[in-house]
Amino acid sequence: MSGTSLTEVAKAGGVSLATASRVLNPHNEHPVSDEVRARVLAAAASLNYSVNALARGLKVKRTRVFAAIVHDFRDPFFNTVARGVTNAAEAAGYLTVVCDSSRDPDKERRYVQLAQEQRVAGVLFVGGGLTSRSYREAMRQQIATLQSYGAHAIALEPRGSRMPAEIPDNRGGARRATDHLVELGHERIAFIDGPEQVLTSRERRRGYQDGLEAAGIALDERLVASGGFTEEGGRAALVRLLDAGVPFTAIFASNDAMAIGCMVELRARGLAIPHDMSLVGFDDIQTVRWFDPPLTTVRVPMEEIGAAGVARLLALLDADGGEPPGGRLVNVHPTELVVRASTAPPGRGKARS
Amino acid sequence: MSGTSLTEVAKAGGVSLATASRVLNPHNEHPVSDEVRARVLAAAASLNYSVNALARGLKVKRTRVFAAIVHDFRDPFFNTVARGVTNAAEAAGYLTVVCDSSRDPDKERRYVQLAQEQRVAGVLFVGGGLTSRSYREAMRQQIATLQSYGAHAIALEPRGSRMPAEIPDNRGGARRATDHLVELGHERIAFIDGPEQVLTSRERRRGYQDGLEAAGIALDERLVASGGFTEEGGRAALVRLLDAGVPFTAIFASNDAMAIGCMVELRARGLAIPHDMSLVGFDDIQTVRWFDPPLTTVRVPMEEIGAAGVARLLALLDADGGEPPGGRLVNVHPTELVVRASTAPPGRGKARS
DNA sequence: TGTCGGACGGCAAACGTTTTCCACTGCGCG
DNA sequence: CGCGCAGTGGAAAACGTTTGCCGTCCGACA
């Protein structure tokens, strides 16, 4: 019922507990003769022994488990990054606890608490943090406790706290997307902003502004509307823009889900993409290529970022006891504009209201 | 560095280790006076103590961690079910390790092994199992070892092994989808089958056959093609069917991803949905409603199934020591046809080849 | 021949909990 | 006045590992 213990293996192999441990434990210096080794291995196999990671973790004060906290599991951005994380972790012999916070800061806290109790070796915050003072304070606090028992925390999207991060070049990508529209001849470019209190939105919006500025186009606040990072959020924001009646010929949405929402609304209003309206998204999630027309967007190397996060964590863990690892605190991963069929030079021009 | 231990809390509170444990451990019968309780609580708070789940798990031989094994994280079916799992688990105070096997049986095995070492309380196999003899044998073996230390395994899609399961009514749903097409007047209905060796495919195909049979339509093997459960798989399968030149007026795809692949191919060939060709999918993943036209499909209660899975696991765990819980081994969750705009009575009729 | 050191193996202590048993204190009751 | 009992607190034994330290054997070397 309760699994085979090392003690039983030792007994079956006719050796001491210590010897059995030395044979079965990968990281071990102590020499063991081949004959004894074989005996122990045989005993372990016949009892089909598997080490109790709890006991080991308790003893060595270090587990092989990470926790990844995402905002929403079903969002392709998050699950793709998470996939990069779990794959890289598995390759290193780590298990990953994946937590879906449902964008609820409180739930996020509970998850960090649970992860802490499990004494995970590291926590990866996949989603962008909030800008609010109280949130950042709570976060700082949590990271402190995590570190108090030797764990590390890292971010995969911008967060306020000064923690190691592997993040996409949101600002640069948004800048290039805007440049692209400008180069096509668009001058009145609407921006569908993400939630204002999320740092990721803020960065992307900066990129949009950079692009306008470089082109000498004045920012028109009436062409900016924000909403949740979802299809519904994007659609609702576009509805407001369209209904406001200020004309524009292109839309840059802060992420692909919002862009899809825009697509749906444009379709509903009989506006053709890209003939009547150009559309650009952000992230390059998988599905976006199946739409009609396939979406022009900014590719974020999601799996790579996940893997980089794990590599970073592993490095931090290795360095423990030694000197702190060199290198930058925040690594920025390049993003890339992917031009598909949803963008074109302005056609009929003005959007109907 | 190494976190606060209960011993330190006890010392700070001026009580014994035992008393401190009794105060801080939720499940505890032993009475403790209010005054002492307050003292311990204060000490714990000031040291910001958090229980070491490793030590606890080691002692009580029971952890509060589940493992969920999925085929592919990015697949909306899996991540939605997984979300149901993690949410329900969190509500019960459990953490969930989510493992992406990349459809690799070997990786799946490694994950089960790791999960076992962590002494997880239960494993949920989210994806359908393979039909192959060797796979089923390996699986049986793994479940046995899991159970040998008191863990439970359950399935959320059909698997060969006799293990408790919460699965969708694949066959019934496929039957209803087929009925729907028949009722619209279709007689030549193509079926885009999933991978043959996956049990889920098999069940859905059975439903398709049931539907044809009930309508008195002979199964035409030339109208069936299979592929991986992905957009590319569906598209490739449809290409084969279309190129074969045997006419049909409707397509029933074994899952939504494949249906999307079909949509893309039909679009590429200038075939209008539903005018030239009706299309039905399976699962009702989120994105499917954003396509043009929105897809008619069979809704699978994905989050509910995930939640039911953890409820089942929890029940099994509770029952340990008592008599085995009653009820069926396999619970089938009803699926529901969702009619959207991708189906209509046959129009121009024959597909071009 | 005596000594030294390398190779191997074992003993036992710890890691941080939970829990069983036991001790002590009052107090009501026969 | 002795007894049991309810209410409270503590001592200590586990849970299954890893690892520092020590002992033994054996061959090599002076």
Domain boundaries, chain B: 1-51, 62-163+304-333, 170-300
**Strand C nucleotides in reach of protein CB atoms, 7 A cut-off:** 7-21
CA A19 to C1' D21, whole Å: 15
At residue B46, does pLDDT exceed 90?
yes
In the predicted structure, residue B320 carries a pLDDT above the cut 70 = yes
SS3 at position A193: strand
* Identical fold, B62-163+304-333 and B170-300: yes
* Longest CA–CA separation in chain A, Å: 86
* Residues pairing with B250 in the sheet: B189, B278
Whether B17 CB is under 7 Å from strand C: yes
In terms of CATH architecture, what is A1-51? Orthogonal Bundle (1.10)
Q: Looking at the predicted structure, is the pLDDT value of residue B350 above 60?
A: no
* Direct distance between the N- and C-terminal alpha carbons of chain B, in angstroms, rounded to an integer: 70
* Distance from C-alpha of A288 to C-alpha of A264, rounded to nearest angstrom: 13
What pLDDT digit, counting tens, does each position of B280-318 carry? 999 999 999 999 999 999 999 999 999 999 999 999 998
According to DSSP, the β-strands at A297-299 and B65-70 are unpaired
Say how far apart CA A332 and CA A103 lie, in whole Å: 24
Q: In the sheet that A189-193 helps form, which strands lie side by side, from edge to edge? A: A224-226, A189-193, A250-253, A278-280
pLDDT tens digits for range B186-235 = 999 999 999 999 999 999 999 999 999 999 999 999 999 999 999 999 99
Contact B116, B145 (CB under 8 A): yes
User: Distance between CA B159 and CA B187 in Å, rounded?
Assistant: 33
Q: Which chain B residues contact residue A57 at CB under 8 A?
A: 54
Q: Show which of residues 298-327 on chain B sit within 8 Å of chain A, judged by CB atoms.
A: none
- Confidence label for A328 from pLDDT (cuts 50, 70 and 90): confident
DSSP state of A220: -
Angstrom distance, B16 CA to C23 C1' = 14
pLDDT tens per residue, range A232-251: 999 999 999 999 999 999 99
Q: Is A116 on the interface with B (CB under 8 A)?
A: yes
CATH topology for A170-300 is Rossmann fold (3.40.50)
Alpha carbons B40 and B48: distance in angstroms, whole number: 12
**For chain A, how many residues are written?**
353
What is the average per-residue pLDDT within A54-75? 95
Per-residue pLDDT tens digits for A182-228 = 999 999 999 999 999 999 999 999 999 999 999 999 999 999 999 99
**Residue A199 near residue A129, CB atoms below 8 Å:** yes
By CA distance, what is B115's nearest residue in A? Answer: A95
**Mean pLDDT of the B101-119 span:** 94
pLDDT at site A352: 40
Instruction: Measure B99 CA to nearest chain A CA, in Å.
Output: 7
Average pLDDT over residues B18-47: 93
- d(C-alpha B29, C-alpha B31), whole Å: 6
| pLDDT confidence of residue B28 | 81
Q: Which pLDDT score, from 0 to 100, does residue B326 have?
A: 65
| Mean per-residue pLDDT, B21-47 | 92
CA separation for the pair B147, B116 (Å, rounded): 10
Distance CA B98, CA A318 (A): 25
Check whether domain A62-163+304-333 has CATH 3.20.20.70, yes or no: no
Task: Give the helix ranges, DSSP H, for A130-216.
Answer: 133-148, 170-183, 199-214
Contact B100, A83 (CB under 8 A): yes
The confidence score (pLDDT) of residue B149 equals: 86
Residues whose CB is less than 8 angstroms from the CB of residue B30 and which lie 6 or more positions away in sequence, other chains included: B22
Q: Is residue A91's pLDDT more than 70?
A: yes
pTM (2 d.p.): 0.93
CB < 8 Å from B in window 72-91 of A: 72-74, 76, 79-80, 82-83, 86-87, 90
Report chain B's C-alpha Rg in angstroms.
Answer: 26
Average pLDDT over residues A169-192: 98
User: Which spans in A189-230 are helix H?
Assistant: 199-214
Flag whether residue A329 sits within 8 Å of chain B, measured between CB atoms: no
The whole-number Å distance from A22's CA to C13's C1' is 17
Residue A333's SS3 state is strand
Residues 250-279 of A with CB under 8 A from B: 260-261, 263-264, 267
- B28 CB and strand C closer than 7 A: yes
